[in-house]
């Protein structure tokens, strides 16, 4: 693999035109695991690396892609840039939020079984420390809002869900969920990593209180950066739980020559707002440079067009796989980019067969998950169906 600047650019620019600028070998139907990096993003990565190679200080606190990436992500989800912080990953953002809300004894969580598995472990650990916890089970492949309503108690502080489940592709009606929660005085957190960039997401219209999204899935970026949205009128519900240089707006020193006398710990001031609470130290500026470029690509094409390209591919899968013995797990007609099916011993029966035919999907012990994107075509679905039917 040629990771030189010339090799990166050559690979990016050699992407087949029919793949929309994505150079992919074989059939890749696994964007829900990680989306391929396209030519636009690869060129941004090469420019960033070249700038750092030529000048070690080409990127730093005063010159970096953070502001541009945040502005574009905010536009994608209909939020103000001031309400978005940069964090290392979606789950780090959810952990920081849980700590900031003071979840624990007397301040509990309602979530559902389709939420991200790492998040379920987070709330399971909080429950061991005394936080009230209810995990709502699905019924007929859906999470019923009535079951969430019934699970809310006077000790519930947060309802935490994945807007689009990475397990089955089930998609919540976020506006209805927030209306239910707010009527009971409960806040809502949404993991939107399987939604933003793949389907229209309007956080202001939904009323959601908090949301987080990494850049390496449907934002078509790389690992190491994520965005955490905080509704501005919820800031007073949060407390600062981590402190670092990114939050310091003023700091006095009294220990070096020519400085005014004073205590060794000089006065300092910390920033407010979403970034002031949750941005601690140096972010992954390289990942943000890639995200800025990939978000430009998504905004330029339009999320509605991306979703429209994917819809007939998912419809075909939901029509053609059940006759082959695959049990549908994803409700039909949903807006999300993920479709899943149950099949006994799926990993043992289909894993090697798919690999040998150059077809990549997520294969689990008794389940397969398929997630087409802008570079996929009907030919890809044909090859997947043929491999599963063989």
How far is CA 85 from its chain centroid? 14
CA dist., res. 211 & res. 161, Å (int): 10
**Which residues does 185 contact at the CB level (< 8 Å), separation at least 6?**
none
* Contact by Cβ (8 Å): 219, 295: yes
Distances (CA, A) of 189 to 43, 93, 94, 229: 34, 11, 8, 9
DSSP SS3 for 110: strand
Residue 169, token pair as written in the block: 């592709």
Radius of gyration of the chain (CA): 23
Query: Residue 342: what pLDDT?
Result: 98
Which pLDDT belongs to residue 1? 33
Q: Which runs of consecutive H residues, i.e. helices, occur in 2-129?
A: 5-13, 39-54, 66-77, 90-100, 117-128
Inter-CA distances, 11 with 199, 369, 386, Å:
28, 28, 29
Q: Give the angle subtended at the CA of 116 by the CAs of 372 and 311, to the nearest 5°.
A: 20
Q: So what's the pLDDT on residue 390?
A: 86
Angle at CA 370, nearest 5°, toward 367 and 376?
160
Tell me the DSSP string of 209-264: SEEEEESSSTT---TT-EEEEE-GGGGGG-------GGGEEEE---SSTTSPP--S
Task: Confirm whether pTM is higher than 0.85.
Answer: yes
Domains of the chain: 5-37+302-389 (3.90.1150.10), 66-246+268-298 (3.40.640.10)
**In order along the chain (390 residues), what is the average pLDDT of each group of 10 residues?**
41 48 94 97 97 94 95 98 98 98 98 98 98 97 97 98 98 98 98 98 98 98 98 98 96 95 95 97 97 98 97 98 98 96 97 97 98 97 96
Burial of 189: CB neighbours in 10 Å, binned 0-12, 13-18, 19+: buried
CB neighbour burial string for 26-37, b if at least 16 within 10 angstroms, e if fewer: ebbbbbbeebbb
As a whole number of angstroms, the distance between CA 183 and CA 188 comes to 12
pLDDT at 20: 75
In which element (H, E) is residue 191 found?
strand 187-191
What are the C-alpha distances in Å from 20 to residues 299, 334, 389? 15, 25, 29
| Residue 120: per-residue pLDDT | 98
């Amino acid at each position: 693999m040629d990771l030189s600047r010339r090799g990166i650019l050559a690979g990016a620019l050699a992407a087949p035109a029919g793949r929309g600028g994505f150079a992919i070998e074989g059939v890749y139907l696994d964007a829900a695991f990680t989306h391929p990096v396209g030519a636009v993003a690869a060129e941004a990565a090469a420019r960033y690396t070249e700038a750092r190679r030529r000048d070690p200080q080409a990127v730093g606190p005063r010159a970096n892609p953070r502001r541009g990436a945040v502005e574009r992500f905010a536009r994608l989800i209909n939020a103000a840039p001031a309400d978005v912080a940069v964090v290392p990953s979606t789950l780090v953002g959810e952990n920081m939020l849980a700590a900031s809300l003071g979840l624990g004894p007397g301040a509990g969580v309602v979530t559902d079984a389709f939420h991200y598995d790492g998040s379920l472990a987070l709330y399971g650990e909080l429950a061991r420390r005394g936080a009230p916890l209810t995990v709502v089970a699905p019924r007929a492949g859906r999470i019923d809002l009535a079951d969430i309503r019934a699970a809310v108690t006077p000790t519930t502080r947060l309802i935490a869900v994945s807007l689009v489940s990475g397990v089955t592709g089930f998609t919540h009606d976020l506006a209805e969920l927030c209306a239910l929660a707010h009527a009971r005085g409960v806040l809502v957190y949404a993991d939107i990593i399987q939604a933003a960039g793949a389907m229209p997401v309007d956080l202001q219209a939904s009323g959601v209180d908090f949301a987080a999204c990494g850049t390496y899935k449907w934002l078509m970026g790389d690992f190491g950066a994520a965005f955490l949205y905080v509704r501005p009128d919820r800031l007073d519900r949060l407390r600062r739980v981590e402190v670092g240089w990114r939050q310091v707006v003023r700091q006095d020193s009294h220990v070096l020559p020519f400085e005014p006398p004073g205590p060794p710990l000089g006065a300092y001031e910390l920033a407010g707002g979403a970034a002031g609470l949750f941005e601690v130290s140096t972010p992954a500026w390289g990942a943000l440079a890639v995200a800025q470029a990939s978000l430009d690509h998504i905004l330029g094409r339009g999320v509605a067009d991306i979703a429209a390209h994917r819809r007939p591919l998912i419809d075909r899968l939901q029509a053609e796989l059940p006759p082959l013995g695959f049990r549908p797990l994803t409700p039909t007609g949903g807006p999300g980019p993920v479709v899943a099916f149950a099949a006994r011993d799926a990993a043992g029966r289909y894993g090697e067969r798919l690999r040998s035919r150059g077809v990549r999907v997520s294969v689990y012990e008794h389940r397969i998950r398929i997630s087409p994107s802008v570079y996929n075509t009907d030919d890809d679905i044909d090859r997947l169906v043929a491999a599963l039917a063989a």
